[in-house]
Chains A and B, each alone.
Chain A
Amino acid sequence: MIRNFTSVTKLYDMNNNVEAYVIVENSKTSFVPLDTANSDYQAILTWISEGNTVIDNPPE
């Protein structure tokens, strides 16, 4: 089942590498590490594969 995320945003670390996704779901904010064993990360990958768009605002 595809999760109904309100938004998915890339989170950058101090070296400007993506280190997590910030998801908003049912008004709750969560930080999902890039860990393939994490079920939320798996859900994000599925959500992306369905054509949904991740918000990407790299630090300047």
Chain B
Amino acid sequence: MALSRIDTTNMIEDVPQSKLDNNINFRNIIINGDMSIAQRGTSFPGLTNGNNSDYLVDRFNFSESGSESFVIDASQSTDVPSGQGFANSLKYLVDTADTSLDSLGGVALNYRFEGQMLQYLKKGTANAESLTLSFWFKSSLTGTYIAELYDKDNERTISKSYTVNTADTWEKKTVTFEGDTTGTFDNDTGRSMDLTFWFSAGSGYQSGTLQTSWGTTTTANRAVGQVDWSATVNNELYITGVQLEAGTTASDFEFLPVDVNLQRCQRYFYSNEVISNTTYWMDTYTSTTGYIVSLLSFPVTMRIRATMSYSGNWTSSNTTTSSPSFVAFSEQGYKMQARATNSARTFIYPDGAGTLTANAEL
């Protein structure tokens, strides 16, 4: 049988072309921008004076200033923009309104960046990258809102405004911050930059002209035009899909697998909620008095040596104290230790549910 000739003329054209334009991995400098990871819980009621810097969903913290009387309830929500792929948002609700903010009073949502994560932005050089911020936002109060970048290493700021056009409706917002040719970020694990979403700002933050180009931080220019969202009880707002990327255009939100997203969050905070009274955390025989130590690893290398905390009670035998101590001996691990009182079997286990956390937040 004679072989047929194969017509290759249109073969390449028949293969679907991959769409690679938006396919740069880890282009989003924000971790957990889809608000999906919430290791500290999903409800954060009663935020007011003294709660500045309290973390909410992972990597995002409540920000307040002044001696204010507002009370804000924050929570992880399932209210999301339809058809965009998001499962969660972060919600703020005004539980108690404050109609007379201090001059330097305010309510905001804050995100802090580690300096070594920002080096590729080439800040402080002639090749400094612009940054484009995109996010989905829904608020019961229309009007002007402010998003701000703060260079903590060099005390420099840039602010951009955006408008909520329709109340209680999801809208996608995009603003671009020009690159800054002044002031480099420290190349270390410290806090170098903040992103702040202002929701209310006192007159002291608004008495100047909005600083829409990078410059030395001037308080009066930081949030000019910001509406007073916290002045009306039951005002609410939602935010998700927060993405900050190099360049002047916003790409589609970069969804990461949940395990990857969690591991990225765990560099800054780790919560072990699997403590149960069925597991001995230490069980040994001591031939003398002295320390007994158990070394444990964090799931990922943390930013710094973390602060360790626990809730719940422990049961122990042959130890000087009922509860062990926990100390992060490095960024990779921590030790649980106690002191034995005699030569005997020595053990420790959690007496019921509890939580052990490691906090290395900025």
Enumerate chain A interface residues (CB-CB to B < 8 A). 1, 11, 13-14, 19-20, 22, 28-33, 35, 37-41, 59
Task: Collect the chain B residues with CB atoms within 8 Å of residue A33's CB.
Answer: 305-307, 327-329
Q: With contacts A14-B290, A14-B293, A39-B362 known, is A29 near B327, CB below 8 A?
A: no
B304, B310, B327, B359: the one within 8 Å of A37 (CB): B304
Q: With contacts A20-B327, A39-B362, A40-B359 known, is A30 near B291, CB below 8 A?
A: no
B308 in contact with A31 (CB, 8 Å) = yes
Nearest-neighbor residue (CB-CB) of B303 within chain A: A37
Task: Collect the chain B residues with CB atoms within 8 Å of residue A35's CB.
Answer: 304-305
A38 in contact with B305 (CB, 8 Å) = yes
Task: Collect the chain B residues with CB atoms within 8 Å of residue A22's CB.
Answer: 325
How many A-B residue pairs lie within 8 Å, measured between CB atoms?
Answer: 53
Bound Cα distance A54, B311 (Å): 23
A31, A37, A40, A59: the one within 8 Å of B326 (CB): A31
Enumerate chain B interface residues (CB-CB to A < 8 A). 52, 189-190, 290-291, 293, 303-311, 323, 325-329, 337, 339, 359-362
Q: Top 8 nearest A-B pairs by Cβ distance?
A: A33-B305, A30-B309, A35-B305, A14-B291, A37-B304, A31-B308, A40-B307, A20-B327
A19, A28, A40, A59: the one within 8 Å of B327 (CB): A19
B190, B290, B303, B325: the one within 8 Å of A31 (CB): B325
Bound Cα distance A39, B52 (Å): 14
Task: Collect the chain A residues with CB atoms within 8 Å of residue B52's CB.
Answer: 1
Majority SS at the chain B contact face? strand
B308 in contact with A37 (CB, 8 Å) = no
A37 in contact with B325 (CB, 8 Å) = no
- Nearest-Cβ distance from residue B308 to partner chain A, whole angstroms: 4
Nearest-neighbor residue (CB-CB) of A14 within chain B: B291
B189 in contact with A37 (CB, 8 Å) = yes
Bound Cα distance A32, B306 (Å): 7
Task: Collect the chain A residues with CB atoms within 8 Å of residue B325's CB.
Answer: 11, 20, 22, 31
**Residue from B190, B327, B361 having most chain A Cβ neighbours under 10 A:** B327
Bound Cα distance A31, B307 (Å): 6
A37 in contact with B190 (CB, 8 Å) = yes
Task: Collect the chain B residues with CB atoms within 8 Å of residue A14's CB.
Answer: 290-291, 293, 337
Nearest-neighbor residue (CB-CB) of B357 within chain A: A30
B290, B311, B327, B361: the one within 8 Å of A39 (CB): B361
A29 in contact with B306 (CB, 8 Å) = no
Bound Cα distance A36, B310 (Å): 22
Nearest-neighbor residue (CB-CB) of A59 within chain B: B339
A31-B308, A39-B362, A59-B339 are known contacts; what are 8 more A-B pairs with Cβ within 8 Å?
A13-B291, A28-B311, A29-B310, A31-B307, A35-B304, A35-B305, A37-B305, A41-B307
